[in-house]
Chains A and B, each alone.
Chain A
């Protein structure tokens, strides 16, 4: 089966940098995705890593190390609107997505 671990909560101030780690154990691996979900909203896609390395999209970056079964999402120049839950998700051999339990990021003024 699939197992993904990520921290449950992170708190930081505006302008800071936050790193959300995700470690996974899966039967087959086809990539690591990240989703953002605001309270009361639907999850929205942020990024995807199929290969090792860093992918940058604006203030957000995502990193993957397949040999370590590890990835992270980096949120830079934090803004109040970044307060949300962030989920890592892994595609397995059957192409379905398994999600981590989510990390609640709270940004303080």
Chain B
């Protein structure tokens, strides 16, 4: 079974631009969660999608948004990029309908904002 894939793996953007990151979950997994990882803040939960609906949302500004498609693939978008948005963005998928303690992470997208 193929693992979670994320594209692109690396991205460099300028302040004020927007960016879209993509995540393809493990086949059959309907839950996709997104996390931001930085050295200072660790793994911060962004949001979770299940069956195309946002089920949970973390404490991030509205510039961070996401969506999930009918094939469970998910995208997250960050608008009006700030220097502080530089981070590793991880997505994780799970199979459980009610959220899962066991999540499978993708390799992440390393975003650098200059």
Contact = CB atoms under 8 A, between A and B. Distances in A.
| A and B form one complex | yes
B45 interface: yes
Q: For chain B, what secondary structure do more than half of its interface residues adopt (helix, strand, loop), or is it mixed? A: strand
A42 B107 CA distance: 5
Interface residues of B, number: 24
Interface residues of A, number: 22
Given A95-B56, A96-B33, A96-B56, A43 B102 contact: no
**10 pairs of A and B residues whose beta carbons are closest in the complex:** A95-B99, A99-B43, A42-B105, A101-B42, A96-B56, A33-B101, A48-B101, A45-B102, A43-B105, A31-B101
B90 interface: yes
Nearest to B31: A95
Interface string B29-46: 000010100000111110
A44 B102 contact: no
